[in-house]
Chains A and B, each alone.
Chain A
Amino acid sequence: MVPGEDEDRSAGPAGPFSLKQLTRLDEALTLSSRETGVQFSLYVGALGPDPRRNAEDLHAGLGGAAPDSVLVAVSPGERRLEIVTGEHTAKRLPDRSCALAALSMTASFNGGDIVGGVVNGLRMLADQVGKPSLTPR
């Protein structure tokens, strides 16, 4: 994430988050990705009539990084959250752990706190994934 982009987004009316919130998101994404070796990415926007399919398409759009990626897709308009794991990350992050993180995140979203829910959810997911050296591929 380029810092200049954040300022532009927060200055424009289209940006959903303030600069402070963007900083929290950036820190959570970067720290959890560096701790685990898994690339976490966050999509915030519409997911359409078939949210799961769209989120999986987005995950496929990550290209070569997709097997080592976890996509968290949030659609605040449709009140829908999707967590998608890839080929390698699914082994380190079982569906049950994803469901637990999803439950925690939706509880925060229901209170109107998108950023807080995402930050806590990412922390839960990263804790579950663990360090890259400790878990065998």
Chain B
Amino acid sequence: MSVVQTVLVYVGLPALGFAVIAVLVYAGGGGRSPRYRPGRGWSHDDVWYVPRPLRSSGPTHRALESGGSSRSGPGPRRTARGGASGTW
């Protein structure tokens, strides 16, 4: 092997391997979806998910809207009977 071939095999190939791995890492885990990290803030809007209704009449949306207006009222009727709390 000539000097050029030796350098290409022993330096060029490993460098190429590192480059491919680096490209895969930074292209794949580029963080397209925001990831939650405990301790950092949460800057997203408040969201409320409800299950899809079986019938298409969909009373849930109206219920939520009326709930929003009652929240701003003086004192909403208490409906909670139990549950649990947790921190992390």
Chain A residues within CB distance 8 Å of chain B: 1, 9, 14-18, 21, 25-26, 29-30, 32-34, 39-46, 51-52, 55-67, 70, 75-77, 79-87, 89-90, 93-95, 98-99, 101-103, 105-107, 109-110, 112-114
Known: A30-B52, A44-B46, A64-B63. A106 touches B81 (CB 8 A): no
Count of chain B residues with Cβ under 8 Å from any Cβ of A?
Answer: 42
* Bound-complex Cα distance A36 to B86 (A): 24
- Of the candidates B79, B85, B88, the one whose C-beta lies within 8 Å of that of A62 is B79
* Bound-complex Cα distance A94 to B85 (A): 13
The secondary structure that dominates the B interface is loop
Known: A64-B63, A86-B79. A16 touches B44 (CB 8 A): yes
Instruction: Contact check, B70 vs A61: say whether CB atoms are below 8 A apart.
Output: yes
Known: A14-B45, A44-B46, A101-B84. A39 touches B35 (CB 8 A): no
Q: 1/0 per position for B32-48, CB-CB distance to A under 8 A?
A: 11111111011011111
* Bound-complex Cα distance A45 to B59 (A): 23
Q: Beyond A62-B67, A79-B87: 7 further Cβ-contacts under 8 Å?
A: A42-B49, A43-B46, A63-B63, A79-B38, A81-B87, A85-B82, A107-B88
Residues of B near A62 (CB, < 8 A) are 63-64, 67, 79
A-B contact pairs, 5 of them (CB 8 A): A21-B33, A29-B51, A34-B54, A44-B47, A83-B85
Instruction: Contact check, A80 vs B85: say whether CB atoms are below 8 A apart.
Output: yes
* Bound-complex Cα distance A43 to B68 (A): 13
- Say whether B80 faces chain A, with CB atoms less than 8 Å apart: yes
